[in-house]
Amino acid sequence: MDCPIDEILLIDYLEGELEPKMARQVEQHLEACRPCRAEYESLLKVKQALAGVKESVVDQPPESFWQENFQAVARATYERDSSTGVSGGKVLSFPRFSRLRILAAAAIVLLALAGVLRLGLGPIGPPRGPSAELAQVTEANQAYVDSLYQLAETIYQYQIALNAMESMVELGADQENGYVPAGMEVPAYSSVYDGLAELEDNQLQQVMYALASDL
Partner 1 sequence: MEQDKKLVELILKGERERFGVLVERYQRAIYRFLMNMGLDHDEAADTMQNAFVKAYDKLHTLRGGEHFRVWLYSIAANQARNYMRRRARELPLEEPDMPVHEEDPGLLVEREQLRSLLSGALKRLPEDQRKVVVLRAFENMPFKEVAEVCSISLSNAKTSYHRALKKMQRWLKPVASRMNLENQG
Show the 3-state SS of 135-146: HHHHHHHHHHHH
Closer Cβ to partner 1, 91 or 106, answer by number: 91
Mask: binding to partner 1, 125-164, rule CB under 8 A, as x and -? ----------------------------------------
Count other C-beta atoms under 10 Å from residue 40's C-beta: 20
Q: Measure the CA–CA gap between 82 and 156, rounded to whole angstroms.
A: 33
Mask: binding to partner 1, 168-207, rule CB under 8 A, as x and -? ----------------------------------------
| From 3, 4, 27, 73, residue interacting with partner 1 (rule: CB under 8 A) | 73
Closer Cβ to partner 1, 61 or 181, answer by number: 61
Q: Measure the CA–CA gap between 120 and 127, rounded to whole angstroms.
A: 14
Per CB under 8 A, which of residues 30..69 are in contact with partner 1? 39, 42-54, 56-58, 61, 65-66, 69
Closer Cβ to partner 1, 53 or 188, answer by number: 53
| From 74, 100, 102, 121, residue interacting with partner 1 (rule: CB under 8 A) | 74
| From 91, 106, 108, 145, residue interacting with partner 1 (rule: CB under 8 A) | 91
Burial code (b: 16+ CB inside 10 Å, e: under 16) for 191-211 equals ebeebbeebeeebeebbeeee
| From 18, 25, 77, 172, residue interacting with partner 1 (rule: CB under 8 A) | 77
Q: How many residues form the binding site for partner 1 (CB under 8 A)?
A: 44
Radius of gyration of the chain (CA): 30
Closer Cβ to partner 1, 15 or 139, answer by number: 15
Question: Would you tell me which residues interact with partner 1 (CB under 8 A)?
Answer: 7-8, 10-12, 15, 17, 39, 42-54, 56-58, 61, 65-66, 69-70, 72-74, 76-77, 80-81, 86-87, 90-95
